[in-house]
Amino acid sequence: MDDVFAKIKETKLVPVVKINDAKDAIPLGKALIAGGLPVAEITFRTDAAEESIRKLAAEVPGLLVGAGTVLTTDQVDRAIQAGARFIVSPGFNPRIVDYCIAKKIPVIPGINSPSQVEMGLERGLTILKFFPAEASGGIQMLKALAGPYVGVKYIPTGGISADNLVEYLKLSCVFACGGSWMVKDELISSGRFDEITRLTAEAVRRVKSAL
């Protein structure tokens, strides 16, 4: 579990990926690696998610693969069996969170309120997804949460872009950022993996400039 969070802390950026066809999984994973970002959160928004996770976990060495938009415990099981190393949910579903904790699966539930932060703390979770980040108050909200909840770290996702990435990463309470601008659906489905590598490399450079 610790090595998963260590990897995310090291990269500071988690690409949130929607894959419509599992045949695109391997080239997508290789494009991320080539761009210097060895992590991917594959969202369960399409029927191709499970097979995409399986392919990436088996065939792209060095890539940390997680499952996102996980809404049921069945999806947790399917994702982990396919090779996912961590689970991300858009909101704080106690059933999913407790299920993952019981099975010692790294889980990053979504929060956007003090009450939800406390639900995480009650379960010993100190790394939480802040979603939807921009719509929930963005940087000002994170600064407000950082006051009473010392030690809690956030992965803001939703509205994060190349333009505001550095500003978010400069906050001491931000563990990493989640974003999809470098892995947009249309880039993947049209096979523009060179462009994904270019955008990823640019994002990695921005991350380094913030550190």
Q: What is the pLDDT of residues 144-191, one digit of tens each?
A: 999 999 999 999 999 999 999 999 999 999 999 999 999 999 999 999
pLDDT band at 2 (very low <50, low <70, confident <90, very high): confident
- 123-143 pLDDT, tens digit per residue, is 999 999 999 999 999 999 999
Q: Identify the residue whose tokens are 């998610």.
A: 49
State the average pLDDT over residues 74-93: 98
CB 16 within 8 A of CB 45: no
Q: Name residues whose C-beta falls within 8 Å of residue 37's C-beta, 6 or more positions apart in sequence.
A: 11, 13, 15, 182, 200, 203, 204
Query: Residues of the chain with pLDDT > 90: what percent?
Result: 98
Query: Which residues make beta-bridge pairs with 88?
Result: 108
Total of domains in the chain = 1
- 25-74 pLDDT, tens digit per residue, is 999 999 999 999 999 999 999 999 999 999 999 999 999 999 999 999 99
Q: What residues act catalytically? A: 41, 129
pLDDT at 160: 98
Quote the domain boundaries for residue 184: 2-210
CB 33 within 8 A of CB 56: no
Query: For residues 36 and 33, what is the distance between their CA atoms, to the nearest angstrom?
Result: 5
Q: Tell me the CATH number at 59.
A: 3.20.20.70
* Ramachandran sector of residue 125 (left: φ over 0; alpha: ψ -120 to 50; beta: rest): beta
Residue 211 has pLDDT above 90, yes or no: no
Q: Is the whole-model pTM more than 0.95? A: yes
Peptide bond into 132 cis (omega under 30): yes
Question: What's the sign of the alpha-carbon dihedral 144, 149, 155, 157?
Answer: negative
